[in-house]
Amino acid sequence: MNRVYNFSAGPSMLPLPVLERAASEMVSYGESGMSVMEMSHRSPDYETIINATETLLRKLMNIPDNYKVLFLQGGASTQFAAVPLNLIKRTGKADYIVSGQFSGKAFKEAQKLGYDVKCIATSKEDNFDHVPVVTKDMIRPDAAYLHICFNNTIYGTKYPYIPDTGDIPLVADMSSCIISEPVDVSKFGVIYAGAQKNMAPAGLTLVIVREDLLDYAEEKMPTMLEWKTMAENGSMYNTPPCYTIYIAKLVYEWILGLGGLDVMKEMNVKKANLLYDYLDSQEYYIAPVQKESRSMMNVTFVTGDADLDKKFASEAAKAGLKNLKGHRSVGGMRASIYNAMPYDGVVALVEFMKEFAKNNPKK
């Protein structure tokens, strides 16, 4: 077996013990005589799996009892529409912070639906090199919610704090930072995340929603987008993404086995510090993100020369360090170092960076 260090932003690395466990149970799960992929979602075996998945996630994230956990499909991008469709009726308007591409898409989607939505802050004019500062007085007092993207996958930025929105529900896209560290769920009205960055393969979208926010859905709401329907049916209004949920369960077990999110955070901080400390110690590579907005999950850097950047990504791939090319819209390099990336993978990356800098002097 020859596994590489895969720095892809998503779908991304999964923990090896999870893949091995899944492989060992692939053909026949427990005493069932069939693969989880082949099970009816209404079977007792599968019910045990989905219920355990929710219980484990609640434990892992310390999710309060007045929050529903939904296992949905359609990706985080579907939630860009689902959020206003489920919430805006509360007051008729909503505010957004645009801190990168995905929050921009979320804002545009709400606009497209014809709603009164306002972008109250953006870092666009600074190439999204930081997250805007958010204070309560910036938010319209009658906004139904404030939407943010907590970790900006493409630019490599993250909120260093949870914005204080007072009584206004805070809605956060956490696709690329979910379960990377403890967060106080009670500070949010809604948290959502596509699973394929830090939780599971593609196909699962997690929504965590405070119960009192389930009563504002539009009349003509498509059933599949209505959180309340999904909550009332235990995410089984229709067929859920069964196998992906099962893998998420194995991932949650893996993290709990390591000691939970405090330990996970310690490991992630150690990895991110190794890379950022190196970036700060030299002048060959430039880290464009302002220090206080640095993401622990997605680390961006450039050489300042597009040809060298290209050479870097291709030589790194040959050395077993895959998918370091930055997002197609921004170029440069991006190392996504999610939970499953071992510390040794970051060590190998830093060693490669030093070698590359030595062998490719700038003109």
Ligand X SMILES: *Cc1c(COP(=O)(O)O)cnc(C)c1O
Q: Using CB under 6 A, list all residues that contact ligand X.
A: 10, 75-77, 102, 149, 153, 173, 175-176, 194, 197
C-alpha 321/C-alpha 202 separation (Å) is: 22
- Least distance from ligand X to the Cβ atom of residue 157, Å: 11
Which of 231, 205, 234, 183 lies closest to 47, judged by CA? 234
- Least distance from ligand X to the Cβ atom of residue 97, Å: 13
- Contact indicator for 144, 90 with CB cutoff of 8 Å: yes
The alpha carbon of 109 is separated from its chain's Cα centroid by a whole number of angstroms, namely 19
Q: Which residue lies nearer to ligand X by CB, 39 or 179?
A: 179
Q: Which residue lies nearer to ligand X by CB, 22 or 202?
A: 202
Distance set, CA 177 to CA 10, 14, 65, 189, 306 (Å)? 12, 14, 22, 17, 28
Task: Show contacts of 104-111: CB within 8 Å, 24+ apart.
Answer: 105/77, 105/80, 106/79, 106/80, 106/147, 106/149, 106/173, 107/147, 109/80, 109/81, 109/84, 110/80, 110/81, 110/83, 110/84, 110/147
Q: Which residue lies nearer to ligand X by CB, 10 or 169?
A: 10
End-to-end CA distance of the chain: 40
Q: Which residue lies nearer to ligand X by CB, 71 or 352?
A: 71
Q: Which residue lies nearer to ligand X by CB, 165 or 205?
A: 205
- Least distance from ligand X to the Cβ atom of residue 175, Å: 4
- Least distance from ligand X to the Cβ atom of residue 33, Å: 33
Q: Which residue lies nearer to ligand X by CB, 130 or 308?
A: 130
- Least distance from ligand X to the Cβ atom of residue 65, Å: 27
Give SS3 for 223: helix
C-alpha 10/C-alpha 363 separation (Å) is: 34
Q: Which residue lies nearer to ligand X by CB, 132 or 194?
A: 194
C-alpha 105/C-alpha 85 separation (Å) is: 15
- Sequence-ordered list of residues with C-beta below 8 angstroms from that of 38, at least 6 positions apart, any chain: none
- Least distance from ligand X to the Cβ atom of residue 257, Å: 26
- Least distance from ligand X to the Cβ atom of residue 194, Å: 3
- The residue behind tokens 């060298």 is 308
